[in-house]
Structure 1
């Protein structure tokens, strides 16, 4: 508190004196004074030139009003007013006269001195006093006026930490004055407290811990509303707190909300300059959503199957805010239109079915490569759908679930099927998959299956129309296998309403000579993609709501990008083969920068490598590369940090996840990464019996029972997915790299429709750095913390070590 601003606080009130000189003239000494009105009163008013020292320069007298009332005759009342000339203040001495007063009557005197606001012309009563005078003979009297108290004080706050359970604001003086913080309306209201005009040290405490402090002038005769105090700012010292002498606006009235066309439509009444809309997915807490000058708002960033709670508050031109309206719920039906038809907006949660969650209590497959103690199944995925939805994802990718006709570790992976048209009973069978898909759709989640269209177990059962794959079992032959796999790809869309496919070892779907990168002279993904697009278009035409997306993403394990370009994106006759492939090159650059890759290379913190990943050969026009951190064939990011012997585990995990969230294009999160998973006891290949780098990530999943650090990581991931869902510039924005040097990385993401620009910053070093960007605008808003960074186009932004920031250009 020693850093707090100090002011002189003279608590003795200097009194303002009115000197009254009364001259009374009588026409007859013997007549009754009850009926004779011939007295005259002259007030000499002296205005003191010294007030309380701390507020001397902030209080002036522009008007004096004196009223006298006959105590025996309430109709006998006179008022005299003296007002200063425009732009001036009253002289130290003025005179006020009253004539035709009743002789020998007692008069009550009330005097008020006003300070008049130069702009708004509001009159604030800064001094008051009263007395009584008997009009008899020549009398001199004095009224002592006292400085008035403040009418009230409201301290307005913003970005109160969500974990705070209580708080108070304290005015420190001779006697401390306290007010509890209203955590719902973000303010402390001193109504009911007596606040003397003075300078005070102001202290803000949350859960009994000092959060911020500063100084505040409380002036007489008026209500004081502080400008909004942002509690997320880096400095604890607020300096002098600015005050607005005005009433806060009334809260909007008659707020109503309803669902229309899978959007939340709000309307209300009020006469404020603008309004702030807050939203939450429970009645417990809401967060800022948008600001508008209209009396209505349409929220299109909602998810089918979710209920949202809205509140609105009014804002004046000075920035004063009203209380919130009562919460209004709006339910978005779960069976409405699909969440998105834009591949870039996909937030996919990958589940390795055999190790994720055991939902039916059965052993299922006795073991799977990489994990002998997990018995995952489709019931486990169904159990986790609410968790996946709450994480902020909008799609689920299941590793293969088709019938393997066996129970060994390879069968348990699902990647060598024998019956492509039935679900293995170890997972729960066809009915269980249909239940999973239906429940996921009801929650607004897409479901993608894993398509292995280049190899199988052998002795494949014919399709419903009698087709089988041609050639060997690994790889199969094309074009002989083409019609069979076209039927697989479209049958599950028509019969089960699946929304797309992840495509395993996609380089196998072609003919011609193979080179070292499995490059073929003809790519049959063109034909399979056309078949999928055709059936999806037919379903749209019939009015179907699901099974219409047709997203297909290729897995081609290539850190350089050339094989991805050749085998995923290059088709024939001028057509692209597929429109999406996992962005392995950028993934490798990311883990090399913040940890190490599987070979141990990396741990360089070189931000320039991240920009290389974005511009690598697999990025061509008209495609949708899919960014990810790891998967079931790679080491988890947590294990890569341990292999490299690198510290600051949780900060690095969060930094890596922030980079994924800032990516233009679809993204995939492998189960467990959202809470910072690792494989305990595994650093080098073989540390755990029969566990290796290509299956180590198949650890047992969980959706509860998190440690404190895991919970923090989970909350951070949820925040990232939330801002990504609410800000199209992140998932579809045109990327302009601003800085990629040393430990500093900066991108400007611009939404194609021009609605917003977001600056993404990443410090890949371990200590704080200042990143300078010139992006225009009048300021930046941190989408994770709410902090406002002032500026006029050019900004110097502090970024903590191993931290990503998302800044909306305002």
Structure 2
């Protein structure tokens, strides 16, 4: 018993309690890289039949082979999964992949089934997951099925009232023929197509497009059928709406994750601006924790192919500091609750306004300093899982600077962001974190110790840092003295007993 106590004390001395113990990876711990296949890398020029790089709405040559060639690059940035825009055969000019013509064929512009299988196999060799985009709401404009199978589609009516759920689900999204997903024949066709690719290639998940435009009973049947094929199959639902109360209506349909447009609306768009309101991070987290079963499973992002690039918005507030704000945005993305998704080119500070300007080809080799920062963010998430699993609360906020706690049981970390252009400091009570503790900076060397029961964090203008919580130096000395004193005491006790016995 005595030896056990000594060993425990020795272990505490040699390995102080530090936030970040490794644990089995789950989906909230994924770090996802989003690829618009046609605008990524041209790995096979032989399939460029429709390429016209001068037309922003035409094919530009990116393909599955190009993604394969860049897997090592994506892995080097620290991403654990990739999400690809749809690779199925599209109607003419469907470079983005969302105008599907044939759900059972790969578009020749993107490659072949063999290319897709090789991509999945090569990704899995690197312990990376492959997520395909899948569309069930509509087909491409001018699809022959509209005349051949008219009973498969809703009447061609525009969505006029976007707060009318019936219109959202049964009217056409622009000129896209809207599937009658409540029809059993249509439902069976789409579900069979979805399960076909799971069984055929071993992909790991689907990002499901335009989820709010499809009736909820369809999704319940879809989820059940997919999970019957692969119980661990990942399903990410795109519900394009910033209202968390509305989006939460889809939270009990069986999806693993839902896109967090509230985070985009409240945090990403805000942090791209100068003198941003850092309290919006707390607002977004509070909404997620209020309305959703597991806010850490929500998919968060700074931008994507449907909205302006973060850098484009940031440059409007001053090009000279735009990249600094991008780094702050990335920091908030990785430190906040939710699974982070990074759109291709963000690691290179790629800019671009609304579609199609936000979909330019990705530049390589790109911005190596920013790539290193993204790799650091991914490493922080990997080494300190509390940033993926912990609850969040704001400890203090003042004059454009705030400090937040992420806590999962005894696993605790903090992060602080200063959105002000000037140096700032912020204080909070040590008791908020735990007595006899200190804070050690992760992104740059910074040791924060207690003074009169208070922690004070200082940051330069437009900067951020994350902190692990560890035992204070005083507490460590106490443990050290105990480790030394207890064996001496025990030895003295034994010798005393021997002397008593001898007498």
TM, length-normalised to structure 1 = 0.49
Q: C-alpha offsets along residues 455-507 of structure 1, whole Å, 9 cap, x if unaligned?
A: 0123469xxxxx99922463211221322222222221111111111111111
Q: C-alpha offsets along residues 295-324 of structure 1, whole Å, 9 cap, x if unaligned?
A: xxxx957xxxxxxxxxxxxxxxxxxxxxxx
The 3-state SS of whatever aligns with 2:342 is: strand
**Aligned residue in 1 for 2:388:** 731
Alignment of 1:774-793 (within 5 A): 774=429, 775-776=433-434, 777-791=436-450
1:584 equivalent to 2:261? Answer: yes
**Aligned residue in 2 for 1:772:** 427
CA distance, structure 1, for counterparts of residue 130 and residue 266 of structure 2: 29
**Aligned residue in 1 for 2:79:** 393
Distance of aligned partners of 1:454 and 1:665 in 2 relative to their CA distance in 1, 3 Å threshold: same
**Aligned residue in 1 for 2:105:** 422
1:349 equivalent to 2:43? Answer: no
CA distance, structure 1, for counterparts of residue 466 and residue 443 of structure 2: 7
Contact 1:607 1:742 in 2 (8 A): no
Q: C-alpha offsets along residues 581-621 of structure 1, whole Å, 9 cap, x if unaligned?
A: 1111111222343225xxxxxx4511222211222378412
The 3-state SS of whatever aligns with 2:32 is: strand
Pairwise CA distance, 1:364: 4.9
Contact 1:662 1:760 in 2 (8 A): yes
Q: Which has the higher contact order (CA 8 A, sep 6+)?
A: 2
Pairwise CA distance, 1:714: 1.2
Pairwise CA distance, 1:534: 2.1
Structure 1: runs of 5 or more not aligned? 1-272, 277-290, 294-298, 302-338, 462-466, 511-521, 538-548, 570-574, 597-602, 680-691
**Aligned residue in 2 for 1:403:** 89
Alignment of 1:82-161 (within 5 A): none
Pairwise CA distance, 1:751: 2.3
Contact 1:387 1:703 in 2 (8 A): no
1:471 equivalent to 2:153? Answer: yes
The 3-state SS of whatever aligns with 2:382 is: helix
Contact 1:378 1:428 in 2 (8 A): yes
Q: Over the residues paired in the alignment, what is the CA RMSD in angstroms?
A: 2.8
Distance of aligned partners of 1:468 and 1:657 in 2 relative to their CA distance in 1, 3 Å threshold: farther
CA distance, structure 1, for counterparts of residue 323 and residue 463 of structure 2: 11
Q: C-alpha offsets along residues 54-81 of structure 1, whole Å, 9 cap, x if unaligned?
A: xxxxxxxxxxxxxxxxxxxxxxxxxxxx
**Aligned residue in 2 for 1:743:** 400
Distance of aligned partners of 1:789 and 1:469 in 2 relative to their CA distance in 1, 3 Å threshold: farther
Alignment of 1:670-685 (within 5 A): 670-679=343-352
**Aligned residue in 1 for 2:486:** none
Distance of aligned partners of 1:743 and 1:446 in 2 relative to their CA distance in 1, 3 Å threshold: same
Pairwise CA distance, 1:292: 3.7
CA distance, structure 2, for counterparts of residue 499 and residue 505 of structure 1: 20
Contact 2:441 2:447 in 1 (8 A): yes
Pairwise CA distance, 1:711: 1.8
Pairwise CA distance, 1:275: 12
The 3-state SS of whatever aligns with 1:418 is: strand
**Aligned residue in 2 for 1:535:** 229
More strand by share: 1
Distance of aligned partners of 1:746 and 1:453 in 2 relative to their CA distance in 1, 3 Å threshold: same
Aligned mate of 1:719, from 376, 379, 386: 376
Pairwise CA distance, 1:421: 1.4
The 3-state SS of whatever aligns with 2:270 is: helix
CA distance, structure 2, for counterparts of residue 429 and residue 656 of structure 1: 37
Contact 1:611 1:740 in 2 (8 A): no
Pairwise CA distance, 1:800: 1.5
Structure 2: runs of 5 or more not aligned? 1-9, 155-175, 471-503
Pairwise CA distance, 1:699: 1.3
TM, length-normalised to structure 2 = 0.78
Alignment of 1:214-613 (within 5 A): 292=15, 340=25, 342-362=26-46, 363-367=48-52, 370=56, 374-406=60-92, 408=93, 411-457=94-140, 458-459=143-144, 470-472=152-154, 474-480=177-183, 481-510=186-215, 522-537=216-231, 549-566=232-249, 568-569=250-251, 575-596=252-273, 603-613=274-284
Deviates more, 1:557-566 or 1:413-422: 557-566
